[in-house]
Amino acid sequence: MHVGFIYNIATPELLRERPEMTLRDSDTIETIDEVTRAVQAGGHTVTGLNADQQLPVALTQSKFDIVFNIATGIYGDSRQTHVPAMLEYLRIPHTGPGILAESLCHHKPQQKMVLAANGVPTALFQMFHSADASLKLELHFPLIVKLPSEGASMGLDYNSVVHNEADLRKQVAFLLETYGQGALVEEYIDGREFTVAVLGHSPAYALPIAELEFFGALPIRLDQVEDSNFELLKESTGRDLELVEMESRSRVPSGVEPELERRIQAVAIAAFNAIGCKDWARVDMRMDKQGNLYVLEVNLGPGIASDCVFARCGFAAGMTFDDLVNTILNHAIERYPHLSGRPDKTPSRFHLGTLAVEREPV
């Protein structure tokens, strides 16, 4: 098959315009090359495309059987939906879910409401659009203050966990002034943190889980910029910057007892299904001191490089990197009858409801 592979590349222009967002959203050349080789190893022809402003034209001029999408888009708080929206508009099959699930996964308050409505446990929360808004009575300190529409630890640091009203107001004000998209405040679950890679769709299934180990000032996950993108930032801005090292690591396999692992996997699959994920996603969750599990978030298109936790969960299941990438791709292919050769169960498209009736022959 001819597979289009869509990703985000950091450019000097974007790094100067929006450095933090570009660094966190962009894929490295190493990741792009690694995934390209894996898809080719599956017997496919691959054409890579950057998710830039030329992408719409490129998609109309190319003929792809399916697209492997890891792009986040560029602009707007729903930028992660832009590539799936273009693909669906052009009727190009692709990995991952449609626009609704993409939007939910990148708008944490809405995601948490959908999870809660489906009986999937998640921490109590409140959205703040001003630093002096009243705190809900049911929320109890400690709390953690996050951005509502960003991933890759954007907006998070060790000041994000707050223990009193004054620190809460200060951190909310900081996010409002710096990012301008509101602040998500939720109860901080002080406990063990797990990562679950989920694959498939009907049914979905979980790979061996990972547990995070923390060795920084606080047990929270803070993502680290890839070295090659950081060097490009320094070159683009001409500034002498020092890379902040991530102070956590993932242990894969986790080594947790089998019963707990099965329980964690079941919650992850429930979250995956509640959001409407397809083919692949990463579910992050915490367990409090009483053993209660809470989903932190469902991540679509998570980091997939061979040194990322998602790939390492695949390795723990006995997969190679090529196996993992092509498993994701094949799950997507299975969903499209004209690609998989499976019977097309799409309902009849020639149905007019009450708009017209068939005339009886004369």
Q: Is the pLDDT of residue 257 over 90?
A: yes
So what's the pLDDT on residue 291?
96
27: burial class by Cβ within 10 Å (0-12, 13-18, 19+)?
buried
So what's the pLDDT on residue 350?
77
So what's the pLDDT on residue 226?
66
pLDDT tens-digit map of 178-223: 888 899 999 999 999 999 999 998 899 999 999 998 877 777 777 6
Q: Is the pLDDT of residue 236 over 80?
A: no
**pLDDT tier, 49 (very low <50, low <70, confident <90, very high otherwise):** very high
Average pLDDT over residues 66-84: 86
Q: Is the pLDDT of residue 243 over 70?
A: no
Whether residue 183 contacts residue 170, with contact meaning beta carbons closer than 8 Å, is answered with no
Question: Would you say the C-alpha torsion 91, 94, 99, 100 has a positive or negative sign?
Answer: positive
Whether residue 7 contacts residue 32, with contact meaning beta carbons closer than 8 Å, is answered with yes
Whole-model pTM: value is 0.90
Domains of the chain from N-terminus onward:
2-117+189-340 (3.30.470.20), 125-187 (no CATH)
Q: CA dihedral defined by 296, 301, 307, 309, rounded to 10 degrees? A: 30
How far apart, in Å, are the Cα atoms of 266 and each of 211, 296, 352, 356?
16, 15, 42, 47
